[in-house]
Structure 1
Amino acid sequence: MPSETLDLTLDELLTTTRSVRKRLDLEKPVPRDVVMECLDLALQAPTGSNSQGWQFVFVDDDEKKKAIADIYRTAATPYLDAPKPTYGDSRDERTPLVVDSAKYLNDHLHEVPIMMIPCLEGRPDGAPAGMSAGYWGSLLPAVWSFMLALRSRGLGSAWTTLHLVGDGEKQAAEILGIPFDKYAQGGLFPIAYTKGTEFKKAKRLPAEQLSHWNSW
């Protein structure tokens, strides 16, 4: 039987699926069948040449979660402590809040019920822009669909990539048995139910400021 879903319109789902960090419920267990239901939906996303070369590694073992979190912190802690760029617009207002939220996740990452690492067959290391874009374009739509499916069921996540810095990706591959020479990792996603299910739209730059028609 499908799990219960939130009463959200499609537009609400698209505009309120946030990067969730402080509001992840670290105490409430997440059933595997709910996660797999979300993954089944995500696997309907398109891939280049219908290759479907993806693999999804889920981690709920406490020791392995701690090991992956330690790898993440190696890069995340200095990055989060470093000065952040300024933009001269509304983004600057949110920067302290985003950093504070990211630091919370950094401190508590090992406590999340489940971690997910999406992988894609092949390695794009050093590939030209066109090939790299096509490569990641065969994974990222499915990952975003997965996050939308989580949101629709009262769960949340955040797209993180800092465990991939330096030797981190290879270290994570060794811990989890991922064939490093055959699969690249696309990120690290904490998975948990959210504390409350009401989320608002984010403040974004207006579309008119970011769009170009026929020339830049």
Structure 2
Amino acid sequence: MDAETVLTTTRSVRRKLDFDREVPQDVLDACLRIAQQAPAAGAMAAQFRWLLVRDADTKAAIAAHSRETAEAAWEKYGHLVEARALASAQHLVRNLDRVPVLAIPCMIGRPPSDAFSQSAYFGSAYPAIWSFQLALRARGLGSSICGYHLQDHEADVARLLGIPDDVMQISLLAVAYTTQRDFRPAARPALEDITYLERWGSPL
């Protein structure tokens, strides 16, 4: 699969994750090694960690925390979400315990308070997360960020997994092979509608 195809067809896969197919550890290792090469701000690269969860009981506990927050959010705001997108999210969250691997990217050290440092902190995590997702896609796997538990239950999941208090869970990714191989580029706004030149609002 060429780079442009990987970049334009890596979707947040929710309904088409294969819950029954095992994900070999060597495949995950290869994707994580690629993720390690993502750009990071200075010493931030040394603070990044991955925690992989395969145990069924542990996944079930994490899924329960995720569902509690998600269901409450959908009850309050679900009417504002496009029906297809809502159904897709609900499918994943209600089956999160069935996903073969939950990958939790973490950063040693809590998030800083100022905008500049936050940019370096999260900007050192998400390139690695995206590289991981791209590497998975190139190998026939899919992923979706599903961080609902972070809203109300980050501490609960930290205790469950033995994560120290000074470590921040950046997100949670559901990882599995996909039930379909081919994905298409998604519909996105026209470039001229989202790109300005020199000043805000000045068109290309």
Q: TM-score normalized by structure 2?
A: 0.93
Q: Contact between 1:77 and 1:106, CA under 8 Å: does it hold in 2?
A: no
Q: Contact between 1:65 and 1:110, CA under 8 Å: does it hold in 2?
A: yes
- Whole-Å Cα distance in 1 between the matches of residues 79 and 111 of structure 2? 28
Which residue identity does 2:111 align to in structure 1? P
| 2:129 matched residue in structure 1 | 143
| 2:161 matched residue in structure 1 | 176
Which residue identity does 2:154 align to in structure 1? E
Instruction: Pick from 142, 145, 169 the counterpart of residue 159 of structure 1.
Output: 145
Give the fraction of aligned pairs with identical amino acids, expressed as a percent.
38
| 1:185 matched residue in structure 2 | 169
Displaced runs of 4+ in structure 1, greater than 2 A?
Answer: 80-86
* Greater Cα offset, 54-63 or 198-207: 198-207
| 1:89 matched residue in structure 2 | none
| 2:30 matched residue in structure 1 | 37
C-alpha root-mean-square deviation of aligned residues, in Å? 1.4
Q: Deviations over 1:108-161 (max 9, x none)?
A: 000000101000111116x11111111101111000000000000000010122
Q: Deviations over 1:40-63 (max 9, x none)?
A: 011001111143210100000001
> Alpha-carbon deviation of 1:31?
0.6
How many residues are aligned here? 199
What secondary structure, in the 3-state scheme, does the structure 2 residue paired with 1:214 have?
coil
- Whole-Å Cα distance in 2 between the matches of residues 200 and 49 of structure 1? 36
- Whole-Å Cα distance in 2 between the matches of residues 199 and 162 of structure 1? 25
Which 5+ residue runs of structure 1 have no aligned equivalent?
1-7, 87-91
| 1:107 matched residue in structure 2 | 94
Q: Contact between 1:155 and 1:194, CA under 8 Å: does it hold in 2?
A: yes
Which residue identity does 1:130 align to in structure 2? F
| 1:122 matched residue in structure 2 | 109
Which 5+ residue runs of structure 2 have no aligned equivalent?
none
Evaluate the alpha carbon distance shift between residue 108 and residue 85 of structure 1 in structure 2; reply closer, same or farther with a 3 A threshold.
closer
